[in-house]
Each structure stands twice: as C-alpha cells, then as structure tokens.
Amino acid sequence: MNPVSYPTENVPLQGSNDGYPGYPGGPMVQYTTVNIASETPRDHVIWSIFNVVHWNPFCLGLAALIFSIKARDQKMAGDMSGARHYGSTARCLNIWATVLSCLLSLIFISAFIFVVIKMNQMVSHFRDYTRNNFPYGG
C-alpha cells in the first residue's frame, strides 16, 4: 500500500530575526514544516447497509450503498476529490432514507394504534347492541 503524502507548507517561526530589532539571533530565518493533513473522505458504508436492511424507502438505501462503495473505491484508488463527491452523495441519500424510514415507522405505528382503538370501539358497541336487542342469548 502506498503511503499517503500530504502537501507541506513552510512557515517562519515567530521568534526569528526578520530584520526587526530586539530579537535575538542572527540574520538566519528559521522555518518549520507543517503538514496540512486533510481529513480522509468518509464513505458511510455501515449507514448505507443499515438503510438497505431496515426500510429502504424508494430504494434510497440501495442507491446510498452504491455511492458508498464508489466512494470507497475512489478512496482506495487515491482520488480524494471523487471519493468526497461520492461520499457526500451517499450521505445525502442516507439522510433522506433515514428520515423517510422514521416517518414511515411513525405512520405505521400511529395507524396500528388507530385501528386497534377503532376495533375496540366496534367490539364494545357490538356487545352493547347484542345485549340490548337479543334478550335470550348473544
């Protein structure tokens, strides 16, 4: 595996003598090397797998998984800008899939509770009707 090389930037130290009086040292300017380590792009594969397995509304979880795998492939190939692009798309699709899954879950639970309450009301109404209208059994 090739090591990742980050761009470097030379920055003069604060205490160096750049022609300003009052600083100790000679005319030599000291520099330090600072590594600018950009964060590696995220691919969101675990989140995508969760969305595929859970509800997967409108196949958004599957699309997110495809973009996540593309982001991982681009990251392994060394194309960080492509990996960021695919990872960002996968993140957006995962957000939409998670929000829609939560909404569908809430709608399903509330509809189930509504049906149970209505059936309970219908059964109690039917019992009252049969008790009052059929005196010899029911």
pLDDT at 138 over 60: no
* Global pTM value: 0.63
Query: In this predicted model, what pLDDT tens digit does every residue of 47-89 receive, in sequence order?
Result: 999 999 988 989 999 999 999 999 999 999 999 999 999 999 9
Rg (CA), the chain: 32
Tokens (6 digits) for 29? 């300017």
Strand partners, 11: 32
Strand partners, 32: 11
Q: Provide the 8-state DSSP code for 54.
A: T
CA–CA distances in Å: residue 126 to residues 64, 74, 88, 119, 133: 50, 65, 57, 10, 11
Contact 57, 102 (CB under 8 A): no
Residue-level pLDDT at 69: 97
pLDDT band at 126; cut points 50, 70, 90: confident
Q: Provide the 8-state DSSP code for 30.
A: P
Q: Helix (H, G, I), strand (E, B), or coil: what is residue 31? A: strand
